[in-house]
Chains A and B, each alone.
Chain A
């Protein structure tokens, strides 16, 4: 089984990528020293990163950092001034249509033809992908648009426009989802639905996801890796565990259990545990930087003994990382 591409990254790591292969480290997106200028503004100043297959990666950075420009280059909507970019081994500017056939996208501020109905628009996008009515219906149902399928786009609220964007993005089971602020304008219930949907697509369909958002706690719920970008430069990237270890970031986990006190007294003696807080139904544990995997394996071992029901990652790790990486740069 030959691989189409083989490259050596700057840190010497060998990256292989080809659609459908699951050996070695597969990168579906590879960007090297990407530069883009708009008039006097240098939007990207040498963006280098990769996104591995099956991952859910957060693209984080303040406004004007270059996130949207990067996403548009990945789709072949903008032409980079210099540098290399490949999505599924293809150059987006030259093979954009092929890439967009297997990539679902939700833009930050999408504008749709106002005169069309929801169904008309989804049908048009489905037909361009060679899909049929079943796929249209599935996208409409998954995004919760059944009641508004016949409605004109001009009559939709901002929340439902966002759902329409999601429906268009998930048409035909894409292999990669590029989501720019996917939960913007949604109410809390709809946000949870969308986040669950992203998780389901990632887990069950092995979809690779790249999400740009400002709502860091939400990203933490679905992402396992992150790329930090600021002023057109990638400051750091990697899995959340790697980044936490590297930046001495705190990791806090909430463990729902029937015996919180006993579990707390067991954990407090471990040298990798920094602090423990006990409440009536849960234990909140903060671990030393980079020790989250150790705690996770310990929890799975102790699960039966203490009646552990659920483990939740408390919001804060990604936020903490954000301030450590972006804050230092600023």
Chain B
């Protein structure tokens, strides 16, 4: 059992290294630049917060909510690593249409193959995004990490993990164009388009009253970070606290990832 698990990890890692080998230096440069950008935006903002706080109370008092600069930094990191995730998913679609015949003719299980792509599409960009936020701050002064509010970062990561999981499914179409379209749609359009639709529903059918709480709850579960950003200051209007909604987001993410792996194991054929 343990031997099997070790073999699984070894082969999945080997395949992941191989698929990332081509672009790994590019991803490293992107992560480094994102970290620099975050450092440039966030560190002065935290220092400013400390100075302001020291004038009105103890210098290392309780953790404060993030400044608007942290929000900008999160949004930038989200955009950058979403593009990384989409580009890796597009590579997977390309591989499934061509070189998967070579890969799956090797002693590589379909589970190992699909999990290595899942790690590359979902977990690598998420990890890089978290690191690009925390590493520059802790490199400057580890104590500053405690000044950052973790909630928005956590919500952003949870929302992105769900979005990136959808890219794995999109890659199964074996078409790069479809992956690119779904990527742009999920990152740039869907969070805001859904809100517009909710607004239209409430305006047209409900005479301007709040949309049904079920629809709002679904929206909050799918986009916990976007919701908390857009409804900042009016969280009371939400039907669910974003942190509680994020539990639903995590459950859907786990389901999306498991079903993708199971589909691959049971149904995927190399044509």
Q: A110-B101, A112-B102 are in contact. Are A128 and B107 (CB under 8 A)?
A: yes
Residues of A within 8 A of B108 (CB): 97, 100, 128
Interface residues of A in 84-116 (CB under 8 A from B): 96-98, 100-101, 105, 107, 110-113, 115-116
Residues of B within 8 A of A120 (CB): 21
* Complexed CA–CA distance, A124 and B270 (Å): 20
**Shortest beta-carbon distance from B113 to chain A in Å:** 10
Q: Mark B159-197, 1 if CB is under 8 A from A, else 0.
A: 000000000000000000000000000000000000000
**Chain A contact patch, size range:** 20 to 34
Q: Mark A270-292, 1 if CB is under 8 A from B, else 0.
A: 00000000000000000000000
* Complexed CA–CA distance, A124 and B22 (Å): 14
* Interface-located stretch among A72-80, A215-223, A259-267, A313-321: A72-80
* Complexed CA–CA distance, A142 and B127 (Å): 43
Q: Which residue of A lies closest to B95 (CB)?
A: A113
Q: Which residue of B lies closest to A171 (CB)?
A: B106
**Shortest beta-carbon distance from B65 to chain A in Å:** 46
B230 lies within 8 A of chain A by Cβ: no
Q: Which residue of B lies closest to A172 (CB)?
A: B107
* Complexed CA–CA distance, A75 and B106 (Å): 9
**Contact yes or no, A115 B22, CB < 8 A:** yes
* Complexed CA–CA distance, A46 and B101 (Å): 24
**Contact yes or no, B102 A113, CB < 8 A:** yes
Interface residues of B in 7-50 (CB under 8 A from A): 11, 14-15, 18, 21-22
* Complexed CA–CA distance, A107 and B105 (Å): 9
Q: A111-B99, A124-B14 are in contact. Are A78 and B106 (CB under 8 A)?
A: no
**Shortest beta-carbon distance from A181 to chain B in Å:** 14
Residue among B18, B95, B112 with max Cβ neighbours from chain A (10 Å): B18
A127 lies within 8 A of chain B by Cβ: yes
Q: Mark A102-145, 1 if CB is under 8 A from B, else 0.
A: 00010100111101100010001101110000000000000000
* Complexed CA–CA distance, A127 and B11 (Å): 9
Q: A78-B269, A79-B269, A124-B18 are in contact. Are A100 and B102 (CB under 8 A)?
A: no
* Complexed CA–CA distance, A97 and B14 (Å): 15
Q: Mark B86-118, 1 if CB is under 8 A from A, else 0.
A: 000000000100110110111111101000000
Q: Mark B247-271, 1 if CB is under 8 A from A, else 0.
A: 0000000000000000000010111
**Contact yes or no, B107 A100, CB < 8 A:** yes
* Complexed CA–CA distance, A98 and B7 (Å): 12
**Contact yes or no, A128 B14, CB < 8 A:** yes
Interface residues of A in 136-177 (CB under 8 A from B): 168
**Contact yes or no, A75 B105, CB < 8 A:** yes
Q: A77-B105, A78-B269 are in contact. Are A111 and B98 (CB under 8 A)?
A: yes
Interface residues of B in 136-172 (CB under 8 A from A): none
**Contact yes or no, A105 B99, CB < 8 A:** no
**Contact yes or no, B107 A78, CB < 8 A:** no
**Contact yes or no, A107 B101, CB < 8 A:** yes
* Complexed CA–CA distance, A98 and B106 (Å): 10
Q: A79-B269, A128-B11, A128-B14 are in contact. Are A100 and B105 (CB under 8 A)?
A: yes
Contact of A105 among B21, B105, B267, B271 (CB under 8 A): B105
Contact of A100 among B14, B21, B106, B271 (CB under 8 A): B106
Residues of B within 8 A of A115 (CB): 22
Q: A97-B109, A112-B102, A128-B14 are in contact. Are A78 and B270 (CB under 8 A)?
A: yes
**Shortest beta-carbon distance from B261 to chain A in Å:** 15
**Shortest beta-carbon distance from B12 to chain A in Å:** 11
Interface residues of B in 180-221 (CB under 8 A from A): none
Q: A77-B270, A78-B270 are in contact. Are A125 and B101 (CB under 8 A)?
A: no
* Complexed CA–CA distance, A113 and B98 (Å): 9
**Contact yes or no, A110 B107, CB < 8 A:** no
Contact of A101 among B15, B107, B112, B269 (CB under 8 A): B107
Residues of B within 8 A of A100 (CB): 105-108
**Contact yes or no, B107 A97, CB < 8 A:** yes
Residues of B within 8 A of A110 (CB): 101-102
A–B pairs, 12, beta carbons within 8 Å? A78-B270, A96-B104, A96-B110, A97-B107, A100-B106, A101-B107, A105-B105, A107-B101, A111-B98, A113-B22, A116-B18, A124-B18
**Which B residues are closer than 8 A to A by beta carbons?**
11, 14-15, 18, 21-22, 95, 98-99, 101-102, 104-110, 112, 267, 269-271
**Which A residues are closer than 8 A to B by beta carbons?**
38, 72, 75, 77-79, 96-98, 100-101, 105, 107, 110-113, 115-116, 120, 124-125, 127-129, 168
| Given A97-B109, A100-B106, A128-B14, 6 other A-B residues pairs in contact with their CB atoms under 8 A | A38-B271, A79-B269, A100-B108, A120-B21, A124-B14, A128-B15
In order of increasing CB-CB distance, the 6 nearest A-B pairs are: A101-B107, A77-B270, A111-B98, A97-B109, A100-B107, A128-B106
